[in-house]
Structure 1
Amino acid sequence: MDGRLERHYAYLAQLLADGARPAAIVPGVTRHGEDIGRWLASQRRNWDRLNAEQQRRLAELGGKKAPHARKAPAKTTTAGRATRRAAVHADAPATPAEEAPGLAPISASNGCPVPDTAAQRV
């Protein structure tokens, strides 16, 4: 194994020896400033590129090949995106005033709701 791989492997072994579960070692989990979670995720994604010895050593520590990624959704046309966007916003209130009583429609000058002073008068 090369030096970097050996170092990350050793840090992974230390994390596991300290009681970490393999499933808890996700990107962002570090040891001595090295992101071991990101490294492990990369090893799992590229499992078929590892040689048999590397696979065996990682498997001994609970490492395994990542499940196949889901297929990306088919690209849609601009009309399809507009339709989805309209459907997502169909339940939204028409104006901020409907959402928050006491606020007038959004000010054209700065885009912020302005207080409805008439609603506050007694």
Structure 2
Amino acid sequence: MPISRITATAAAHSAILRLCADRGPVMFVQSGGCCAGSTPMCYPAGEFLIGAGDVLLGNIQGCPFYIDYALDQAWGEDSFQLDVAPGEPEGFSLAAGPGIHFVTRSATCSLKGQS
């Protein structure tokens, strides 16, 4: 079994459990795109088509977390942490809860994806 490179804070775990209870399974994608590439996008499971350029970092509460290969190489991080922060989500991402969105953090940087 591969080693997971993604963990989550207690707040992110709680948000995922609420989302899954309300909407069903979800998935996360850390995109390399220009628009919301610095914030993880949360979708209903299977709604985002994963391609050969996506790397599975691991699962949180059974929900997969993918990152774009080129972005993963550019950041060069051994591990990431999923958290939540105040503010509405970007793009088509599901909210982590009322007035909060998911963020990705790492040992060397904190990516908040704020507008």
TM-score normalised by length of structure 1 = 0.24
Structure with more of its chain in helix, by fraction? 1
Q: Which has the higher contact order (CA 8 A, sep 6+)?
A: 2
